[in-house]
Chains A and B, each alone.
Chain A
Amino acid sequence: MNKLLKYVIADILRTKVMIAYTVLLFLISFVVFALENSPGKGVLTMMSVVLFMVPLVSISFSAIYLYNSAEFVELMLSQPINRNKVWAGIFIGLGLSLIIAFAVGYGIPMLLFSAADGWVLFLTGIFLSACFSGLGLLSAVRVRDKARGIGAVLMIWIFFSIIFDGLVLFLSFQFADYPLEKPLMVLSALNPVDLSRILVLLDMNISALLGYTGAIFQSNLGTWSGMVFISIILLFWCVLPFFWSIKFFRKKDL
């Protein structure tokens, strides 16, 4: 598996798309941190960028990579290697290279401008890279047709980035007469993008402005235990799509 891993990482990191992703992220972070007068404000702007870009790039790149290397996977499986190992090798390789790209693109400007608030965003970016590459694998293994697969990938991304929040907003209006704080917190655990956003905001103590609602969020999620809890759920989100996809991959007729 190690050999496979090394090969996948070397293969991915050399692609133009990956280099462009890293450079773009680096440029955006650099400009944002340079322009905003306080690092905290820069982190807030970067949060929007990271939450928008990292899932999109991770999920679409993973899916496309898998479709393009279908023959490579077939070749691997013709060798006496366990299917699980091949799939795990591809997932870890993909995840690691996306994480490396993100870490370089965002991490270096963050360190350069010594934005101490940026570490939580750094962490969530890593989580999101892993989670969405898992989701990319899942949709690639479920849908055989490349065009439809990429469509599915985009739908997943739109769902987590926009539609899910729309549903939350809709529900919060429909059930406005009830105390919704706790149900909404549980609901947001179903969306890794929302979870990441809440984690970053709580860390920057922005929730204080939210009044009574914010106080509840803060007392439940803002404490150390709450943050650790969110991180654990995010960790689940990192591996869950992968484990789900491995189930399909094991039975898949290539």
Chain B
Amino acid sequence: MIVRYFLLFLSLNLLSSVLRCHVIEVGSHSAIHHIREALALAVDGDTIEVGRGNYQEQNLIVSKRICLIGKDYPVLDGEMKYEIISVTGDSVLIKGFHLINSGVSGTIDYAGIKIYDASHVVIEDNILEKTFFGIYSQNAKNCIIRNNRLSSFGVDELQCGNGVHCWKCDSMQIIHNTVMNHRDGIYFEFVTNSIIWRNVSEKNIRYGLHFMFSNHDTYVANYFHQNGAGVAVMFSNHVGMFGNNFTDNWGDSSYGILLKEISDGYIEGNSFFSNTTGIVMEGASRIVTSKNKFSENGNALRIQASCMDITLQDNEFYSNMFDVATNGSLVLNFFNHNYWDRYEGYDLNRDQLGDVPFRPVSLYGMITEKNPPAMILFGSFLTKILDRTERVMPGLTPENLVDPQPRMKRFLL
């Protein structure tokens, strides 16, 4: 029995010596005072633990396979001159830092944390304040950016960069970050197979989320609030948007989402509340839009004649000033089984679907589309008469833009 315990003890000891990685402590009470020295000492597999304090280390370059962990949020100060952390090695963890004052430049994209050509980097639980760009990934793969809080100066588009910026990346996971006062909250360019999940992006100067040339990406359960121009998804395909919240993007050039040259996407279960325009579609094709809620928007949906094969099914439209606006008579899209609060039809067979088709484009909506100054007549008696007569005898509104079987009751939660 004793022998058996002894053997177990021995083997455990052996195992731990094999697995041992060094922990290098940095702090005012430790032997090492600077992170820069610790980085030079460390070898692959080491952990650097940084204690509380204020560190002005200029630019830290992490090129080894290490964990860089801050305890009690040590402050890394870029003195408004430097990029604070540059990650050039694979499999790096950066956790628990408070990064402030990165450099600001018109020619160099200074960032709080920048990943260069690396994979499997994890950046989590950091606070970034007054950084030009927040977390910048360049040619990165399989990286996780999680639980970070980012904010910038929020003055104008030239004074601050993007919050989470990914350029030419693959398989990224952007999870539960809060981004505010940046230019674009989350920016994707040439990024594929990635997920954006549970982020909050608010009060950014331009877009809450900006997609360019990024295919096969999905964003789920994000909250976009009070951004200068909402969310823009452009020149991409196979993008999925599920359960996001687009709220209060209100202003003279604002919208919930702008879809420009997008194809093969899914927009499902999102909520568009109080935006100037809920969704703007330009040159979009083959997009399934279903189970979304549009309420209290100026224009719930603006669908240009350049779109085709857009399916709008099982959506709810209520308390919007205009439901659907379009700019031409060509309609190659399908509307079906949506709920419209303006619908006045009846349902004889009680299958919850109206027996009379509904035309969501109002005549006055068409007029203002062609002649914006006529907007000064909004809400007047004349425009109501015009809309009424057009509903009874449609003549000018697009003939094919029609929901053949609208729902009688609201059905989404």
Q: Chain A: residues with CB nearer than 8 A to chain B?
A: 37-38, 41, 44, 47-48, 51-52, 161-162, 165-166, 168-169, 172-173, 176, 180-181, 184-185, 188, 193-194, 197-198, 201, 205-206, 208-215, 217-218
A48 and B379 contact, CB distance less than 8 A: yes
Q: A208-B276, A211-B253 are in contact. Are A51 and B375 (CB under 8 A)?
A: no
B385 and A173 contact, CB distance less than 8 A: no
A51 and B381 contact, CB distance less than 8 A: yes
Residue picked from B254, B276, B319, B377, most chain A C-beta under 10 Å: B377
Residues of A within 8 A of B319 (CB): 37-38, 41
B375 and A214 contact, CB distance less than 8 A: yes
Residues of B within 8 A of A206 (CB): 298, 321, 378
Show 18 residue pairs from A and B whose CB-CB distance is below 8 angstroms, ordered by the A residue. Answer: A37-B319, A38-B319, A47-B379, A48-B379, A166-B382, A173-B371, A173-B374, A176-B370, A181-B373, A185-B376, A194-B376, A206-B298, A209-B276, A209-B321, A210-B368, A211-B252, A213-B376, A215-B252
Q: A169 to B253, alpha carbons, bound, how many Å?
A: 24
Since A188-B376, A194-B377 are in contact, a sample of 7 more A-B pairs with Cβ atoms closer than 8 Å, ordered by chain A residue number, is A41-B319, A166-B382, A168-B377, A173-B371, A209-B277, A210-B372, A210-B375
A48 and B373 contact, CB distance less than 8 A: no
Residues of A within 8 A of B366 (CB): none
Residue picked from A193, A201, A206, A213, most chain B C-beta under 10 Å: A213
Residues of B within 8 A of A173 (CB): 371, 374
Residues of B within 8 A of A48 (CB): 379, 381, 384
A201 and B379 contact, CB distance less than 8 A: yes
Residues of A within 8 A of B370 (CB): 176
A180 and B373 contact, CB distance less than 8 A: yes
Confirm or deny: B367 has a beta carbon within 8 angstroms of a beta carbon on chain A: yes
Residues of B within 8 A of A44 (CB): 379
A162 and B373 contact, CB distance less than 8 A: no
Q: A209-B276, A210-B252 are in contact. Are A184 and B381 (CB under 8 A)?
A: no
B382 and A212 contact, CB distance less than 8 A: no
Residue picked from B253, B372, B376, B382, most chain A C-beta under 10 Å: B376
Q: A193 to B377, alpha carbons, bound, how many Å?
A: 11
Q: How far is the CB of A51 from chain B (nearest CB, A)?
A: 7
Residues of B within 8 A of A169 (CB): 367, 374, 377, 382
Q: How far is the CB of B290 from chain A (nearest CB, A)?
A: 24
Q: A165-B377, A169-B377 are in contact. Are A218 and B252 (CB under 8 A)?
A: yes
A165 and B381 contact, CB distance less than 8 A: yes
Report the interface size for chain B: residues with CB under 8 A from the other chain. 29
Residues of B within 8 A of A208 (CB): 250-252, 254, 276, 298
Q: A209 to B385, alpha carbons, bound, how many Å?
A: 22
Residues of A within 8 A of B250 (CB): 205, 208
Q: Chain B: residues with CB nearer than 8 A to chain A?
A: 250-254, 276-277, 298-299, 319, 321, 367-368, 370-385
B373 and A172 contact, CB distance less than 8 A: yes
Query: A205: nearest residue on chain B (CB-CB)?
Result: B250
A194 and B380 contact, CB distance less than 8 A: yes
Q: A169-B367, A172-B371, A213-B372 are in contact. Are A162 and B276 (CB under 8 A)?
A: no
Q: How far is the CB of A165 from chain B (nearest CB, A)?
A: 4
Q: A193 to B381, alpha carbons, bound, how many Å?
A: 10
Residues of A within 8 A of B252 (CB): 208, 210-212, 214-215, 218
Q: A172-B371, A172-B374, A213-B373 are in contact. Are A197 and B276 (CB under 8 A)?
A: no
Q: A51 to B384, alpha carbons, bound, how many Å?
A: 13
Contact of A210 among B378, B384, B385 (CB under 8 A): B378
B376 and A168 contact, CB distance less than 8 A: yes
Q: A215 to B252, alpha carbons, bound, how many Å?
A: 6
Residues of A within 8 A of B376 (CB): 168, 172, 184-185, 188, 194, 198, 213, 217
Q: A32 to B404, alpha carbons, bound, how many Å?
A: 30
Residues of B within 8 A of A198 (CB): 376
Q: How far is the CB of A160 from chain B (nearest CB, A)?
A: 10
* Nearest 8 A/B pairs, CB to CB: A209-B298, A215-B252, A165-B382, A180-B373, A210-B375, A213-B372, A172-B374, A165-B380
Q: A210 to B298, alpha carbons, bound, how many Å?
A: 8
A184 and B277 contact, CB distance less than 8 A: no
Q: A169 to B382, alpha carbons, bound, how many Å?
A: 9
Q: A41 to B368, alpha carbons, bound, how many Å?
A: 22
Q: A184 to B292, alpha carbons, bound, how many Å?
A: 37
Residues of A within 8 A of B372 (CB): 210-213
Residue picked from B254, B375, B384, most chain A C-beta under 10 Å: B375
Contact of B371 among A176, A193, A217 (CB under 8 A): A176
Contact of A197 among B299, B368, B371, B379 (CB under 8 A): B379
Q: How far is the CB of A191 from chain B (nearest CB, A)?
A: 10
Residues of B within 8 A of A168 (CB): 374, 376-377
Residues of B within 8 A of A181 (CB): 373
Q: A198 to B277, alpha carbons, bound, how many Å?
A: 21
Q: A211 to B251, alpha carbons, bound, how many Å?
A: 8
Residue picked from A44, A162, A168, A211, most chain B C-beta under 10 Å: A211
Q: How far is the CB of B246 from chain A (nearest CB, A)?
A: 15
Query: A158: nearest residue on chain B (CB-CB)?
Result: B381
A201 and B381 contact, CB distance less than 8 A: no
